[in-house]
Amino acid sequence: MDVDVLLKKPLKILLCDNPVIEDFFSSFQIEAGREEKSFEGLVRELTDGFWEENTTNPREFVSMFKDFVTGVYALENTLKIESLDVLSGYDKYKKQEVCNLHLKPGEITCVVGPTGSGKSRLLEDIEWLANEDTPTKRKVLINGQQCDNNMLAQYGGKLIAQITQNMNFVLDMDVEGFLMLHAQSRFLPNAELVVKEVIDLANDLSGESFTADTPVTFLSGGQSRALMIADVACIGQAPVVLIDEIENAGVNKKKALDLLVSKEKIVLMATHDPLLILLAHKRVVIKNGGMHKIINTNEHEQKLYCELERLDHMLQTAKDFFRNGNGLKAGDSLLKFNYD
């Protein structure tokens, strides 16, 4: 795609081919949809008052337009991730790992093992797209190939999104402004609708709702993580999502994972939660810092998930009951929390 050629193309045709480019002109209050002239012709007709009002000049304006169009076309031609593979390296005792890990879009994989076993190291190797250059000597492949700068460029340098237990905002912005900034940087059409969708989804995931004008620094830990999960699903283009112990995130776990899977994300999460482990399609067991084995969730485990979900509901109901300042009286039992 030659941007210089597009500069000479009639705006009417350019916008017909890609309506998203209209957003660039709208931000400068320019109606270009019916213009027979080219972008270069439009720039020549803009007045000194326009340049002064928008604190720019013809050269900067052309450069901004080129960057915008390049981003739009790069987004449209983004490489589709079909698979992510982690090739075996070595455990903490320098022994060869006994298995490789194969991940696909729309699939949930758990990383399980005792505290300190090396679960976070696996997530870090994937985040850094390891190429035998980390302590484990693992190698990460995208679509069967080592990721290069060209592949990274197609995702704006962001193939992987990570959601951790500790998320803090420092921006002096409200939720809507923060999301709008992200959506516009991704050249998303209908940014306002996408931002509203993210806020609605985040409120659905979080136990405590918030509004579009809530400052991001006012969000609780659970609200922040709910917002980031919804943002990653709807705005972020990263096809791979790494999650560190979502059970402690203060969000609706099943809804959060269902949302990410519905967006065809590759989801890998380190967890100790048996409910999440059985909800996943498979799990990789970490032992002595290495990938020890891969277990596919079987039908019997899927049936047990329903029973665990019932028990989890009872526990969550009890938490909400006491959190809201209630108490038990003589004669009450734990059955009170069984779908009460």
**pLDDT per residue over 213-265, tens digit each?**
999 989 888 888 889 999 999 988 789 999 887 765 567 888 888 999 998 99
**pLDDT band for position 76 (50/70/90)?**
low
Crossing angle for the helix pair 175-185 and 221-234, to the nearest 10 degrees = 30
Closest CA to 86 of 4, 166, 18, 142: 142
Work out the mean pLDDT of the chain and round it to a whole number.
86
Q: Flag whether pLDDT at 174 surpasses 80.
A: yes
Burial pattern 307-331, b for ≥16 Cβ within 10 A else e, equals ebeeebebeeebeeeeeeeeeeeee
CA 29 to chain centre: 32
What's the gap between Cα 110 and its chain centre?
Answer: 17
The pLDDT value recorded for residue 298 is 93
| Mean pLDDT across 22-42 | 81
Over the Cα atoms of the chain, what is R_g? 24
What does the pLDDT average to over 145-164? 76
Taking alpha carbons only, the member of 244, 285, 241, 295 closest to residue 91 is: 285
Q: 90 with 96: CB under 8 angstroms?
A: yes
Nearest CA-CA partner of 76 in 187, 193, 241, 181: 187
| Of the candidate ranges 3-7, 103-107, 177-181, 281-285, the one whose mean pLDDT is the lowest | 3-7
Classify 232 as helix, strand or coil. helix
Average pLDDT over residues 53-68: 88
What are the tokens at 208? 């405590």
Give the highest mean pLDDT range of 45-49, 139-143, 300-304: 139-143
Q: pLDDT tens digits, residue range 99-130?
A: 999 999 999 999 999 988 999 999 999 999 99
Q: With bands split at pLDDT 50, 70 and 90, how would you rate the model's confidence at 340? A: very low
Share of the chain above pLDDT 90, in %: 37
Q: For position 41, what pLDDT does the model report?
A: 87
pLDDT over 70, % of the chain: 91
Of 22-26, 66-70, 100-104, 162-166, which has the strongest mean pLDDT? 100-104
The predicted model gives 155-164 an average pLDDT of: 77
Q: For residues 149 and 304, which has the higher predicted lDDT (pLDDT)?
A: 304
pLDDT band of residue 324 (cuts 50, 70, 90) is: confident
Select from 164, 166, 160, 82 the least CA-distant residue to 125: 160
Distance of alpha carbon 237 from its chain centroid, rounded?
Answer: 7
Q: Which helix (H) or strand (E) holds 141?
A: strand 139-142
For the sheet containing 240-244, what is the strand order? Answer: 160-163, 240-244, 266-270, 107-112, 282-287, 290-296
- Count the neighbouring beta carbons within 10 Å of the beta carbon of residue 26: 12
Q: What's the CA gap between 121 and 124, in Å, rounded?
A: 5
Residue 113 tokens read as 């093992």
